Amino acid sequence: MSEATADPRPRSSTFRRAEPVLRVERLNHWYGDTDETRKQVLFDNELQVARGEIVIMTGPSGSGKTTLLSLLGALRTVQEGEIEVLGQPLHRLRGKQLVQVRRDIGFIFQAHNLFGSLTALQNVRMALELKERDRTRIHNRAVEVLSALGLGERIHYKPARLSGGQRQRVAIARALANCPKLILADEPTAALDEQSGREVVNLLKKLAVEEGCTSLIVTHDNRILDVADRIVGMANGRIKSNVLLQQAIEICEFLKQSETFAHLSTSTLTNIAEVMETEKHPAGGIVIRQGDAGDKFYLIKSGEVDVILNKGTANERVVATLRKGQCFGEASLLTGAPRNATIVARQEAEMYTLDEPNFQSAIALSEPFRKELEKILFQRQ
């Protein structure tokens, strides 16, 4: 879904959206000090990531992934544009303040920097000692994380006696032991076999679900795509695509179940899913009002809504209740007629929405789709 940028369109009063953990706006970056060597490597990037999201970033070598990651991790100074991380505006912070932000971030970068004279366990314990005093808790947590990454048998080994992949996993254990609020990882599974790579992503997923940790992972490893909530593609210093993967899959599954969209090709459904946005309505909130002009198509993500005719009059009548996976609002977009009913959330409800221009271009992609819709709507009269 391309909702990465701030949306200037007015929202209904009931609309709410979670605060992002990470916000990038108009970000440009250059390398080189002199006019001859100065080269722009990031161009006008925008990105928003919500709490608990796992974002996978891909793109060709030299496209700017590591540069972007190091700016997000407060390892480089923002030159132009804005970056907000965990509520802190990095573009306004300097020195010690940036160090403070880094404390809440778990870095998994390629150079592991393990202490050669310390065992795997001691390396992980050191990271924990920065935030925790209880020695038993420190020990137990270090063993737990190392075991989750398949190193339970090797906790007393020093780095020299571990393989490259095992060292990489100790470094990952050290970065994740403190349950950082944000995890920035650059090719964390590149040196790992399938099983070890899976253990790493399982741990990231567990931290996301249990602790609300947000992860941004640069990777070319398509074996771990299934863990991603969002996939961001970079090319030539720009974010070229930004897709909410799990959401797109869910939308396609819902649309496939509906009579209106069932026969559409997967690629048309994916095009629709990619431009849908989400909005929440509280219990009792009016989603659409009978008589208003149609401006959006809705698909219910969670919760229930009532379809009410003549609301507020003596003839008020609930004619249907719609649930997760069901859709509404397409009729007036297709016919241009006003909304023919009022829709009210029975309980807090979350919707996927498609605005009119995107709806029209989605159906324009498919002539059979338009014909089919016209037929269905005609039969409904």
Binds 73: which of ligand ATP, Mg ion, none (CB < 5-8 Å by kind):
none
How is residue 153 annotated by DSSP? Answer: G
Among 5, 66, 70, 246, binds Mg ion (CB under 5 A): 66
Q: Does 340 participate in binding Mg ion (rule CB under 5 A)?
A: no
DSSP 242-306: EEEHHHHHHHHHHHHHSTTTTTS-HHHHHHHHHT-EEEEE-TT-EEE-TTSPP-EEEEEEES-EE
Q: Does 147 participate in binding Mg ion (rule CB under 5 A)?
A: no
Strands 342-345 and 305-309: antiparallel
CB of 108 to Mg ion, least distance (A): 13
Which of the stretches 27-35, 58-66, 168-176, 205-213 binds Mg ion when contact is defined by CB under 5 A?
58-66
Among 13, 61, 113, 381, binds ligand ATP (CB under 6 A): 61
Nearer to Mg ion, 151 or 239 (CB): 239
Q: Does 73 participate in binding ligand ATP (rule CB under 6 A)?
A: no
Stated length of the chain = 381
Given a contact cutoff of 8 angstroms between Cβ atoms, the answer to whether 51 and 22 are in contact is no
Given a contact cutoff of 8 angstroms between Cβ atoms, the answer to whether 285 and 350 are in contact is no
Q: Does 12 participate in binding Mg ion (rule CB under 5 A)?
A: no
Contacts (Cβ under 8 Å, ≥6 apart) of 327? 254, 255, 258, 260, 261, 297, 298, 299, 300
CB of 175 to ligand ATP, least distance (A): 18
Q: Does 70 participate in binding Mg ion (rule CB under 5 A)?
A: no
Contacts (Cβ under 8 Å, ≥6 apart) of 117? 158
Among 45, 63, 189, 342, binds ligand ATP (CB under 6 A): 63
Q: Does 5 participate in binding ligand ATP (rule CB under 6 A)?
A: no
Nearer to Mg ion, 224 or 351 (CB): 224
How is residue 74 annotated by DSSP? Answer: T
Number of residues that bind ligand ATP (CB under 6 A): 10
Distances (CA, A) of 291 to 220, 285, 294, 322, 340: 50, 17, 9, 20, 6
Q: Which H helix or E strand runs over 349?
A: strand 349-355
Which of the stretches 4-12, 60-68, 223-231, 331-339 binds ligand ATP when contact is defined by CB under 6 A?
60-68
CB of 346 to Mg ion, least distance (A): 49
Given a contact cutoff of 8 angstroms between Cβ atoms, the answer to whether 30 and 187 are in contact is no
CB of 238 to ligand ATP, least distance (A): 12
Nearer to ligand ATP, 58 or 342 (CB): 58
Q: Looking at beta carbons, which residue is closest to Mg ion?
A: 66
CB of 176 to Mg ion, least distance (A): 20
Phi, psi of 35 (to 5 degrees): -60, -35
Q: Two tokens at 154?
A: 């090797």
Q: Does 106 participate in binding ligand ATP (rule CB under 6 A)?
A: no
Other beta carbons within 10 angstroms of residue 177's beta carbon come to 24
Binds 152: which of Mg ion, ligand ATP, none (CB < 5-8 Å by kind):
none
Q: Does 34 participate in binding ligand ATP (rule CB under 6 A)?
A: no
Binds 61: which of Mg ion, ligand ATP, none (CB < 5-8 Å by kind):
ligand ATP
Euclidean distance between CA atoms 361 and 113, whole angstroms: 51
Among 22, 23, 55, 64, binds ligand ATP (CB under 6 A): 64
Which of 29, 28, 20, 9 is closest to 52 using CA atoms? 20
Which of the stretches 14-22, 63-71, 299-307, 310-318 binds ligand ATP when contact is defined by CB under 6 A?
63-71
Sites of contact with ligand ATP (CB under 6 A):
31, 41, 59, 61-67
